Chains A and B, each alone.
Chain A
Amino acid sequence: MTNEPDRPDAPEPPAEVGGAGKARTSILVLDDEAIVCKRLKPFFQKAGYEVEAFNNPTEALARVKERRFDVVITDLKMEGLDGLAFLGKVKELYRDTDVIVITGFATLETSRESFRKGVFDFVAKPFKLAEILDVVRRVEKERGLAP
């Protein structure tokens, strides 16, 4: 590894908008089904979040090495890098990034493994937009990110 990753205690300063000075909760979405990114990104943006979305696990991993996100939403089963491995890498880099797993194939085994790796919660596909927003809001509440 050539780049020294950001340390959890020294995150990139949160993005500021229009001088308002309010930090937004940042979210990274990773799913190799394009439709999931296409719909989650604008949805969270409109709900007031800073969002980056990736279809490709390798690209997402590269981005995570560059900066910290408050929340990572990832699929489990993808071509290339497995969602579980991605989850592990994220938690390795930033203990305080919360990971939400969205998947259509949760077996007992994978869920046990995910929880061992520190996943915040599971959302089974297909899900309602309101459902995933709820989970993100819970993260914010627990982390003190939202008023």
Chain B
Amino acid sequence: MELPSLTDFFARWRAKPPVPFSVLFKKFKSILERNNAILGLIGDMGDKLGGDYIFDRQYILDSCERLGDQVFKLVSDLSLLCQRKNVGLFTAFERISYEIREELAGRRVLSRTDHLLPLCDLTHDLVDEGGNKMANVGDIRNILGFTVPEGFVITAGAYFEAMERAGLRGRAAEIPTKFAGGDLDGLTEVAVQLQKDILAMPLPKGLAKAVKLAAKRLAAEHGQMLAVRSSAWGEDGESSFAGMYESVLGVSPEQILSAYKAVLASLFCEQALRYRLQRGLFREEPAMAVGVMRMVQARVSGGLYTYVPLLEHDQPMVVSAAWGLGKPIVEGTAETDTFFIGRDPPHELLSSEIGVKSTRLVLDAAGGTRTEDVPAEAAASPCLDRDQLTLLAKTAMSLERFFKRPLDVEWAFTPQGELVILQARPLSIKPKTCTEGPDVAEATKDVPVIISGKGVPAMGGVSSGPVHIVGEGADLSDFPYGAILVTHHSSPRFARVMPKCRGIITEMGSATGHMATIARELRVPTLVGVSDALSILREGQEITLDADHIVVYQGVVEALCRYELGKEDVFEESWEYRTLTRVLKHISPLTLLDPDADSFSPEKCKTFHDIARYVHQRAVDKLIALSEEHQEIKESAPHKLITKLPLGLTVIDVEGGLAAGARDEIREEDVRCRPLRALLEGMNASGMWETCAVAVDMGSFMSSVTRTMTASQSHPTTLGRNLAVISEEYLNLHLRLGYHFTVVDAYLGESVNDNAVLFRFMGGVTDFTRRSRRAGLIAAILEQYDFVVKISGDMVTGRAKKHPEKAMLDKMFMLGGLIGYTRQLDTRLGSDDAGRHHFDTFVQRINALREARQ
């Protein structure tokens, strides 16, 4: 027998629905299952970034393939369910898949096409556009909050466009293949020719104009000179390329384009080509972003190594400094002062050597720089005082903790006394004593362990410092520099002290929650879920936190901290970590939020998560429509459940979920589906359905100003359609109340082993902190009732399995209460205290009701 083609299938369908409802329902169920599998897979991939997993290249490739396969099938399932081809959705799928494939192939997908990126917008999220060096500068400015020279970046995308237009991109890309054999004969000629061509190439008109204008603006305010700096992919990252690329100082706006091309050309200097070929760094196409920054009027400038393996000084940091601009210091042509300072607070001055600094380099009023004499009394006196040294030391240690390795920091003090960080790059010198493994093992052997094996690392790493306990709602403005934050609940409000703190330990919280995400961004070693941290740790106690091994040691374990700094490879900089981070950008963010908005369309799907969300919504809509249109169902009657509460619920009874002979409109008494009965009972129970008026609150303007929760919105006719698919033992419920979206899927059958409840809560358009509080509150409540809970961003998923029927029904009752209770909660979660208060209130109320019910 020949199988009918898909077109025939659709054609016949349109003529007369030949497919029984039960078959369509199966398709619907498989969409739900696949949707769950996809969300699970996305969550799993995100977990791998936490630092406690070992994964390899193969894992990334496999996961992307599996996920792509599932998403494709999900879209196909929807086409079958809706008898539509869904071209838009398949196109979106293809586009996202393509972007992921490009990322995996090392051809990075640039998210910005405007080619110029102001420094204030740059962090390492945009490292692909800004290059490593400038992304570091961006992090220093925008994440850590230190002062850097003002400026902008001409992105890697600009480089690609310029090279492409000049017909040079292909030639550059061929080089690795040409010399892959290891025979480097002829490399010199290739390098020289390509550089010559780059210097001579015309720049795209739009780009040239934009760069000239931006440079003029940057310089004009003070008539200043500019520094044009290389910022290639990989430079100052896992491979240093130190000093191979060009940086041009003292550039006037008129010279900007030639300086720009000079920096681009240096990407192909022989030394760099050789380095890339020898280190096998040709998995990724090279690219050069270029930073343009204002030259700083410096009174004093210099360099700082955060770590010098000098035995007589017990590994201090060293500062070299001189009057004027830093160039002669970096080049080693100037006499300088040298200061050795302790790495730990209070950063004691260990020793200093004061040189005679008879000349200095200064900016010339007429443009460029000039060397001038230093007055005799200044020449022989130290050019930094104690306060300046302390400020430098503190700043440098903050940078080192963030970048996780010893650094070479270039800095300057302005005539007004402000510290400006010019750049920071990893030091190639490794701390001497830390690369020898046995020492570190020995070092921890006799150290008292305070906590071990408790909690989950949200961000790996090692750090030491005094404990600072932060209570709920405590003022964070006096958080001590260099302390380890210990607290009960994780909260994203700790973001503001993260640059100051060395580590975080919380009693509650999730490794995939908002705070964890921020801790990873700031690279603060973090353990969450350390159940009794507050009763074990005391304020001010010196500890060493090893989040990788889930251990807290008594005191400062020097060797361990040093070992951490000396590790050759920073995990966050590995190909695997960066690639997974990059592919996840096309996978996990959820940008389709509001199903009623025009933007809720296939064309607007930016990630696989968006596609899954879209399909899910459309499948639910379709099933509701089917329940009204499908002949079988029509004959057996579409049911509107008249509830005491305004739920607007359509019920589809697959088998035995309603009393025999139920009519179109049914009442709660007609429901035979056990999980739904228990759920409704919980919703209806007194005090569970929140009806207080919602005050207008500027903090949550999204939910209360633009979408005032008025009576009209809780009216069933405007609620939209909610759907429950039921049988006697099964409930699948999709409930949209306001902007919260809840899914309950419960099966309570004969065998305890089959019993399972899934509860999922997401959405709600309010600010970040409130969403996070709400997620935290719901998670805490679910955990209280033995659900296994996972938080990914806004979405909370709780699962309970294999409990006996009575316990399961009790959970359904609780969930009913929870849905009602959290309905309008966002606006009332103004503080962490409020979160705690609502937890207590809910648990107290529902427990009383549960007892009465038993």
Contacts and interface: CB of A to CB of B under 8 A. Distances in A.
B575 interface: yes
Nearest to A47: B549
Interface in B413-462: 437-438, 440-442, 444-445, 453
Contacts of A15: 438
Contact of A38 (B57, B444, B546, B574): B574
Nearest to B55: A126
Interface in B503-554: 546, 548-550
Interface string A90-114: 0000000000001010000000000
Nearest to A48: B441
Contacts of A132: 54
Given A17-B441, A125-B55, A128-B54, 19 more contacts: A18-B442, A35-B54, A35-B55, A39-B54, A42-B437, A42-B567, A46-B440, A46-B546, A50-B441, A102-B54, A125-B54, A125-B58, A126-B55, A127-B53, A128-B52, A129-B548, A129-B549, A130-B52, A130-B453
A38 B569 contact: yes
B366 to A, nearest CB: 53
A35 B574 contact: yes
Contacts of A120: none
28 contacts: A17-B442, A35-B54, A35-B55, A35-B56, A35-B57, A35-B574, A35-B575, A35-B576, A36-B56, A38-B569, A38-B574, A43-B549, A45-B437, A45-B438, A45-B440, A46-B441, A46-B560, A47-B441, A49-B441, A104-B58, A104-B59, A125-B54, A126-B54, A128-B53, A129-B54, A130-B453, A132-B54, A133-B549
Nearest to B571: A39
Interface residues of A, number: 33
Nearest to B59: A126
A51 interface: yes
A130 B452 CA distance: 11
A45 B441 contact: yes
B57 A33 contact: yes
Contacts of B493: none
Contacts of B437: 41-42, 45, 50-51
Contacts of A133: 549
B647 to A, nearest CB: 42
A48 B445 contact: yes
A24 interface: yes
Contact of B563 (A24, A46, A51): A46
Which of A18, A33, A40, A41 has most chain B Cβ within 10 Å? Answer: A33
Nearest to A24: B441
Nearest to A42: B567
Contacts of B62: 104
Residues of B in contact with A, size category: 20 to 34
A17 B480 CA distance: 39
B672 interface: no
B655 interface: no
Nearest to A39: B54
Contact of A17 (B57, B438, B563): B438
B510 to A, nearest CB: 16
A129 B442 contact: no
Contacts of B567: 42
A49 B48 CA distance: 25
Interface in A11-30: 15, 17-18, 20, 22, 24
Interface string A31-69: 101011011111101111111000000000000000000
Grouping DSSP codes into helix (H, G, I), strand (E, B) and loop, the B interface class, with mixed when no group exceeds half, is: helix
A18 to B, nearest CB: 6
Determine the main DSSP class of A at the interface with B: mixed
A133 B548 CA distance: 12
Nearest to A133: B549
A17 B546 CA distance: 23
Given A17-B442, A24-B441, A46-B441, A104 B548 contact: no
Rank and list the top 4 A-B pairs by shortest CB-CB distance, nearest first: A126-B55, A45-B437, A33-B56, A48-B441
Interface string B20-55: 000000000000000000000000000010001111
B58 A46 contact: no
Nearest to B576: A35
B104 to A, nearest CB: 15
A77 B316 CA distance: 46
B668 interface: no
Contacts of A50: 437-438, 441
Interface string B54-78: 1111110010000000000000000
A133 B210 CA distance: 55
A108 to B, nearest CB: 19
Interface in B304-336: none
A47 B560 CA distance: 11
A22 B308 CA distance: 31
A137 B54 CA distance: 18
A32 to B, nearest CB: 9
A16 to B, nearest CB: 10
A104 B574 CA distance: 20
Contacts of A31: 56
Contacts of B438: 15, 17-18, 24, 45, 50
Contacts of B574: 35, 38
B757 to A, nearest CB: 27
A43 B547 CA distance: 11
A126 B53 contact: yes
B283 to A, nearest CB: 12
Interface in A104-146: 104, 125-130, 132-133
Nearest to A77: B58
B50 to A, nearest CB: 9
A43 B460 CA distance: 11
B472 to A, nearest CB: 30
B455 to A, nearest CB: 11
A104 B441 contact: no
Interface string A75-100: 00000000000000000000000000
Contacts of B575: 35
B568 A38 contact: yes
Contact of A125 (B56, B440, B444, B550): B56
Contact of A48 (B48, B52, B444, B563): B444
Contact of B58 (A20, A22, A33, A49): A33
A133 B59 CA distance: 20
A127 B567 CA distance: 21
Contacts of A36: 54, 56
Contacts of A126: 48, 53-56, 59
A54 B445 CA distance: 26
A120 to B, nearest CB: 18
Contacts of A40: 54
A65 to B, nearest CB: 23
A46 B54 contact: no
Contacts of B550: 130
Interface string B711-747: 0000000000000000000000000000000000000
A20 B55 CA distance: 35
Contact of A46 (B52, B444, B571): B444
A46 B48 contact: no
Contacts of A45: 437-438, 440-441, 563
A126 B546 CA distance: 21
Nearest to A52: B437
B60 to A, nearest CB: 10
B63 to A, nearest CB: 9
A129 B441 contact: no
A104 B56 contact: yes
Contacts of B54: 35-36, 39-40, 102, 125-129, 132
Contacts of B52: 128-130
A21 to B, nearest CB: 12
Nearest to B44: A126
A72 to B, nearest CB: 16
B708 to A, nearest CB: 46
A138 to B, nearest CB: 15
Of residues A35, A36, A38, which shows the largest number of chain B Cβ atoms within 10 Å of its Cβ? A35
